[in-house]
Amino acid sequence: MLNFSLKRLASAIPTLFLLITFAFFLIRIAPGGPFDSERALPPEIEANLAAKYHLDEPLLFQYGRYIWQIVRLDFGPSFHYLDWSVNDLIIQGAPVSFTLGALALLLALMIGIPVGAWAALRQNRPADYSVMSIAMIGISVPNFVMAPLLILLFAIILGWLPAGGWEYTPSRMVLPVITLALPMIAYIARITRGSMIEVLHSSFIRTARAKGMPEKKVLISHALKPALLPVISYLGPAAAAILTGSVVVERIFTIPGVGSYFVQGALNRDYTLVMGVVILYGILIILFNFVVDLLYAWLDPRIRYDDAEVGP
Amino acid sequence: MLLRAVWFCLAFALAIVSPPGLAGGQTLHRGLGPEPDALDIHLAQSLSALNVLRDLHEGLVTFDARAELIPGIARAWTVSSDGRVWTFELDESARWSDGTPILAEHFVAGWQRALAPATGSPTVGLLDVVAGARERRTGQAGENAVGIRAIADHVLEVELVRPVPWLAELLTHPVTYPWPGEQALFSGPFKLDGRVPGSHIMLSANPRFRQADRIELQAVHWHVIEEPNVELSRYRAGQLHITETIPPGRLGWLRELFGDELRIAPYLGSFFLVFNHQRAPFADNLALRRALSLSIDRELLTERVLGAGEVPAWQLIPPGMPGWPAVDPGDPRSQAERVAEARQLYRQAGYSERRPLRVELRFNTSLAHRRMAAAVAAMWREHLGVQTRQVNEEWKVFVANRRQGRITQVVRGGWIADWRDAANFLQLFESDSPLNYSFWHDAEFDRLMASAREANGQERFDRLRAAEQRVLDQQVIIPLYYYVSRHLVHADVEGFEDNLMDIHLSRWLALR
């Protein structure tokens, strides 16, 4: 297991390096630069700005400079938010996005898995159909529709909750967390139901039942674990995505997370900010996929990563 | 079990429900628009940054509640007989937020930092009217060449390259503010308490401000909100006192909902389409340019298509500009007569229904621009048979294309006054201006602008008006409408006065 973990982590380095390289050159291919604005600057002032941010150097030079910075964990100054460095922006924004994402994820798991399992036990009965129809709606209503509806109801009509803005208080978190969690609840419920049905038809469940094991025990200790495998593989990338923030939810609730920096950074040609967020996202994806692999081994006795453990 | 969980969640929800409301006391909550690019007086460029900086700092000259000029840190000033040397007498009671006096040398330090090439100030070009400033910022001269001097602790002298009648307006801009060095000190009515990027900026009253006794607000929170619809929601939920704008196209509904809280007022800005004069088909084709302009029904466009109070425009310079008429005289003919002339000119330019003009109309992503472009294209097609391709470009692509002028034909243009002077608009069309994306180079216009620089008073206005007329006669642009300022202002807010500059310093506001 340790061997496998070390190998996986070592292989992450070239992956990240490729990611950085691609992103670095791609964002610079995009037309327009960080200092283009409604009011074109006189050429001498543009030259001053370019020199200040080393944009006047050859591209390969800039690339080398950037890689050297990254190695020292310095993501450079933001080209658009001049008062901040990219490190500042990520350090301020990431905890907000993480908090919201983690709460949404937790809520989604707490509701999605029981609901999915429950529907599976009532397969093709009215309860199953109604739960799955609601889940389908949850998946198909985009969050840019759901969020304003929630705001209209709870903030404007009922006046119970604020319409946006951020503090670490429950009242500010409720609506964004629900908006983020709803489609995930629906996904998780559907995936759980599907795999649960499959597992319930497999022979080891039949054996367990035949041995006279109580139904509750069959479900919880034998069926649920393998049924969660597809949920886990969905969760890897989904967790990385939700923890780095959602552009839509952040904009609608005016939440200062890192999600909107993705889009703002790209639109503003804020090269360093885009790179910072891409690297953060890349690291999280790699990390969560690794965690998913470990969880797999724990959940499914057929999967083992160390050759030595494969017995005859 | 499921039911129990649901009940638990509901109970939890009820426990945290707290009607937000606007916290009591004298804390004003204002919508800001996008995150400011910088709160460094020499680096800030965006409107949102300028709004916050005007609360945090003060210049030699400042604005009253109606955005008229009043003395700021300069108590009084005199101008030499040739108009080139201005001497400012500073208010001795002016203090930084730590209590140390604000001296003439702080202004000198500020301007020198702005002009130093290493600072990379994007707005430093505004100081070009100061002797030696241009040479200094391009690195051709040292600090000593710049015409700003501290004569005494509280006397500042500024030497200009030529008489500049609007200098006082310029001195309200943050790039001209005093600078205390690399420490967070504030010269204005408020000081910075805290800031969360992408969320809000917190200001509290500065007790050391020279007129601190006249400030009623204890604190101002500027909220970063990019989407007008989101800002509206937060206003409706009672979280904002003043919004930065309103969403487009919902004027009737907003008026019904908010009545007097909706404040729409003329604003010194104009919106126009710009022809590319260095490319076919518009280069040297006045008849065609006129035809396209005449065939657009501005009333229909502003009332039915844009619908946020915009005013139809036939000129470049917005009404209300000093030296300009209070209303746009417009075009006295009916739209039908204009269209008839447009058709004639269109044929004269060599186009017809069988040989229609094919043109690209370029604009950046925005709901209002998209509606404008669709309406203009429809009017051109209906009246002239022009085939228009509407090209919607992402912001940076649009700006880069417009500036290069290699592929553009007709582009969205517009200008909002930096200060109340017509030359601020007309500079867009000077041959050597980096802002000239019409690529129209006209010796007559350049001559008029140069002669206006030499003149004063009414004579100067006459020359500037002649220059504007030249732009209109040559149909360099198609003026479409004048901007309006749009805010929702809560009934509890006192002292908010509509004005042409749309500048509302928090120091004049109070909460009932």
The fold adopted by the segment(s) B57-176 is Dipeptide-binding Protein; domain 1 (3.90.76)
Q: What is the pLDDT of residue B3?
A: 52
Edge-to-edge strand list for the sheet holding B148-152: B74-79, B85-90, B155-159, B148-152
Q: Is B353 helix (H, G, I), strand (E, B) or coil?
A: coil
Give A273-305 as a DSSP string. Answer: HHHHHHHHHHHHHHHHHHHHHHHHHHH-TT--S
Chain B residues touching A40 at Cβ < 8 A: 399, 403, 434-435, 437
- As beta bridge partners, residue A186 has none
Q: Is A260 an 8 Å CB contact of chain B? A: yes
How far is A306 from B16, CA to CA, in rounded Å? 49
Structure tokens at B444: 């007559």
Sign of torsion over alpha carbons B317, B323, B326, B327? negative
What mean pLDDT value characterizes chain B?
92
With a CB-CB cutoff of 8 Å, which residues 115-174 of chain A face chain B? 115, 118, 148, 151-152, 155-156, 159-166, 169-171, 174
Chain A residues touching B197 at Cβ < 8 A: 81, 84, 88-89, 92-93, 256
Q: In Å, how far are A79, A271, B141, B342, B352 from B337, measured between CA atoms?
A: 51, 52, 58, 9, 19
pLDDT in tens, B52-74: 999 999 999 999 999 999 999 99
Contact indicator for B302, B312 with CB cutoff of 8 Å? yes
What count of residues does chain B have?
Answer: 512
Tell me if domain B57-176 and domain B266-485 are identical in fold: no
Q: What is the pLDDT of residue B13?
A: 52
Chain A residues touching B43 at Cβ < 8 A: 82
With a CB-CB cutoff of 8 Å, which residues 272-291 of chain A face chain B? none
CA dihedral angle for residue B352, residue B353, residue B356, residue B357, rounded to 10 degrees: 60
Task: Specify the pairing of strand B387-393 against strand B358-364.
Answer: parallel
Contact indicator for B193, B203 with CB cutoff of 8 Å? yes
Q: What is the pLDDT of residue A8?
A: 81
Pairwise CB contact (< 8 Å): B125 & A42 = yes
* pLDDT interval class at A43 (50, 70, 90): confident
Of B23-27, B245-249, B382-386, which range is least confident? B23-27
Note every long-range contact of A214-219, with CB atoms under 8 Å and residues 24 or more positions apart, other chains counting.
A219/A117, A219/A121
pLDDT in tens, B363-381: 999 888 999 999 999 999 9
How far is A133 from A190, CA to CA, in rounded Å? 10
Q: What is the pLDDT of residue B40?
A: 95
Q: Is A307 helix (H, G, I), strand (E, B) or coil?
A: helix
Give B281-322 as a DSSP string. Answer: TTTT-HHHHHHHHHT--HHHIIIIII-SS-EE-SSSSPTTST
Q: What is the pLDDT of residue A310?
A: 43
Pairwise CB contact (< 8 Å): B120 & A170 = no
For the cut 90, the answer to whether the pLDDT of residue A104 exceeds it is yes
How far is B416 from B414, CA to CA, in rounded Å? 7
Contact indicator for A150, A178 with CB cutoff of 8 Å? yes
Amino acid at residue number B27: T
Pairwise CB contact (< 8 Å): A43 & B118 = no
How far is B210 from B230, CA to CA, in rounded Å? 37
For the cut 80, the answer to whether the pLDDT of residue A311 exceeds it is no
How far is B50 from B175, CA to CA, in rounded Å? 10
Pairwise CB contact (< 8 Å): B124 & A110 = no
Structure tokens at B299: 């009333």
Q: Is A157 helix (H, G, I), strand (E, B) or coil?
A: helix
Contact indicator for B172, B69 with CB cutoff of 8 Å? yes
* pLDDT interval class at B240 (50, 70, 90): very high
Best mutation target, B37, B40, B227, to test chain A (most A CBs within 10 A): B37
Pairwise CB contact (< 8 Å): B121 & A45 = yes
Amino acid at residue number B503: I
For the cut 80, the answer to whether the pLDDT of residue B10 exceeds it is no
Task: Specify the pairing of strand B155-159 against strand B148-152.
Answer: antiparallel
How far is B70 from B60, CA to CA, in rounded Å? 9
Q: What is the mean pLDDT of residues B141-154?
A: 94
Burial B345-360 (b: 16+ CB within 10 A, else e): bbeebebeeeebbebe
Closest Cα partner for B216 from B353, B27, B471? B27
Of A288-292, B109-113, B487-491, which range is least confident? A288-292
Of A204-208, B407-411, B459-463, B483-487, which range is least confident? A204-208
* pLDDT interval class at A138 (50, 70, 90): confident
Pairwise CB contact (< 8 Å): A162 & B239 = yes
Q: pTM of this prediction?
A: 0.89
The fold adopted by the segment(s) B266-485 is Dipeptide-binding Protein; domain 3 (3.10.105)
Structure tokens at A53: 């941010």
pLDDT in tens, A25-35: 999 988 888 88
- The domain segmentation of chain B, as residue ranges, is 57-176, 266-485
Pairwise CB contact (< 8 Å): B239 & A114 = no
Look at the block and give the residue holding tokens 């330019």. Answer: B349
Contact indicator for B381, B387 with CB cutoff of 8 Å? yes
pLDDT in tens, B14-59: 455 544 456 557 899 999 999 999 999 999 999 999 999 999 999 9
How far is A46 from B432, CA to CA, in rounded Å? 16
Look at the block and give the residue holding tokens 């001497």. Answer: B87
Q: What is the pLDDT of residue B9?
A: 52
* pLDDT interval class at A147 (50, 70, 90): very high
Partner residue opposite B197 with nearest CB, options A48, A81, A156: A81
Of A62-66, A117-121, A292-296, B205-209, which range is least confident? A292-296
Look at the block and give the residue holding tokens 């004063």. Answer: B456
DSSP 8-class letter at A153: I
State what percent of residues in chain B have pLDDT above 90.
Answer: 81
Closest Cα partner for B383 from B452, B414, B337, B324? B337
